[in-house]
Amino acid sequence: MNDSRIWAALEPMHPSALEDMPMDGTWLRPPYINDPAGRAVVCNDGDFQFVVVDRKKGAVLFVCEDDESLIASNLDALAQIVAAWGSIDRDAPGPEDDEEFSEVRKSFESQLKVIDPAAAGPNEFWSLYTEELTSGDYVDIDDLEDEEEDEPVTDTGDNDRPGADESFSVA
């Protein structure tokens, strides 16, 4: 699959619909560079996460270090998934509202199973992402920043040297 075919699928979603996708990085325009496996890198966070399109199969994959998961089986399915995600992303409460968010998540998962059953698999991107959001480990960055401002700075005891205003004697 060449850059023109990939861009023809991505351009109608670029950049606003793609920016709603739950991944860090910048969605790129052609010409696309290839990763070591010969796949087109279409989104890159500049560090260790990126999205690729398999040039032979058309599959869209999320790559994070050595792990890969399927976002969409092909670019047509990606467009449908992006539309479904975008509609719930705008209307859904955050995961902190567990009951309502759970309903929205289930609705998206049902849509995904119809759009692209392979992408709805248990170890694929969407399943892993929604599981992470609904786990107790999820932290809203905005809430974390508020908490950090409220916490007083405490001495950790890591530095036992006396400060400049303290005196000590050598025996």
| Domain-embedded: residue 164 | no
SS3 label, residue 52: strand
| Domain-embedded: residue 163 | no
| Residue 19 CA: distances (Å) to CA of 23, 51, 110, 125, 135 | 8, 13, 23, 16, 24
**Chain mean pLDDT for the chain:** 80
- Sign, CA dihedral 72-78-80-86, equals positive
pLDDT at 169: 36
pLDDT at 38: 96
Residue 105 makes CB contacts below 8 A (sequence gap 6+) with: 130, 133, 134
Sites in the chain below the pLDDT cut of 70: 89-101, 133-171
Q: Which amino acid is at 56?
A: K
Structural domain boundaries, residue 88? 3-140
pLDDT at 105: 77
Residue 140 makes CB contacts below 8 A (sequence gap 6+) with: 94, 96
| Domain-embedded: residue 92 | yes
| Domain-embedded: residue 46 | yes
| Domain-embedded: residue 13 | yes
| Domain-embedded: residue 113 | yes
121 CB burial (10 A radius; 0-12, 13-18, 19+):
middle
pLDDT tens digits, 74-120: 999 999 999 998 877 665 555 545 566 677 778 889 999 999 999 99
pLDDT at 86: 83
pLDDT at 75: 97
pLDDT at 125: 96
| Domain-embedded: residue 147 | no
| Domain-embedded: residue 47 | yes
Tally the domains of the chain.
1
